Chains A and B, each alone.
Chain A
């Protein structure tokens, strides 16, 4: 399993077919693995992206409420309407390059959209899925 993972990382650098990994995203994914994530499911992340949960004020919320579903386009904060830069690292070079920032927004946004923190598994799935966009 360890070899497979190493190979995958190596592969992503050599071929870089889809995912745009950064040292920060690599470090985070390695951390998630160390915390027990064994199999990453990007397809589940894709489905979860638009999964709606009712917020405290009755508003239906999902990741896509603010970020949209076209990752190459900017999103919009649901309340303040502030522009949120695109999630795709191909379009937005700054995306997923700061470990602390990634964790900060996972924490806040999972709570906002789903009313709870995301599990390590969910974070690993989301991060992998988004890196490939």
Chain B
């Protein structure tokens, strides 16, 4: 297990220098280690704008049809109950980046699973509504998430996924606050 995470990490490190825009099938195949997780956010504006209020969820965590619903001027003015308006130019950059890197445009394993889970259903607005994500967290008792004062909701990816910002959500990297003995 140790070796696997090490290999994954070195793979990610190796790739971090490369431009990670919408990936082609060829690059996905010749870099098999990258296929496992989710492409990390590599757009500064996206990271800054989204990340100023919450974890900057990687575009590869939702399909393009979801990002289309979320990232328009009207929807952003009532973004889960908050005003998250952006000026037109910034919105365009963020929208385009999310669409180009959406789950259904990625060859990464986790993004593929999300793409498949959302293929024939209405576009989810929340990552936590995606069937695959729900299933992955199904066995974790409520007291460790909702009832955990340092977690509170499944929405706070990085509360437990220590490598979430790097796009790594592997069980090996999970540390649930206040439950040091938890094992997958």
Contacts and interface: CB of A to CB of B under 8 A. Distances in A.
A112 B76 CA distance: 12
A35 interface: no
Given A77-B54, A82-B53, A82-B54, A104 B87 contact: yes
Interface string A36-63: 0000000000000000000111000000
B80 to A, nearest CB: 7
A57 B83 contact: no
B69 to A, nearest CB: 19
Nearest to B78: A56
Nearest to B81: A57
A81 interface: yes
B84 A81 contact: no
Size class of B's contact patch? 10 to 19
**Nearest 5 interchain pairs by C-beta:** A80-B54, A111-B83, A108-B83, A112-B83, A57-B81
A75 B81 CA distance: 19
Interface residues of A, number: 14
Contacts of B55: 80, 82
Interface of B: 52-55, 77-78, 80-87, 152, 155-156
B87 A79 contact: no
A90 interface: no
A57 B81 CA distance: 8
Given A82-B52, A82-B55, A107-B83, 12 more contacts: A55-B81, A77-B53, A79-B80, A80-B53, A80-B55, A104-B87, A108-B82, A108-B84, A108-B85, A109-B83, A111-B77, A112-B83
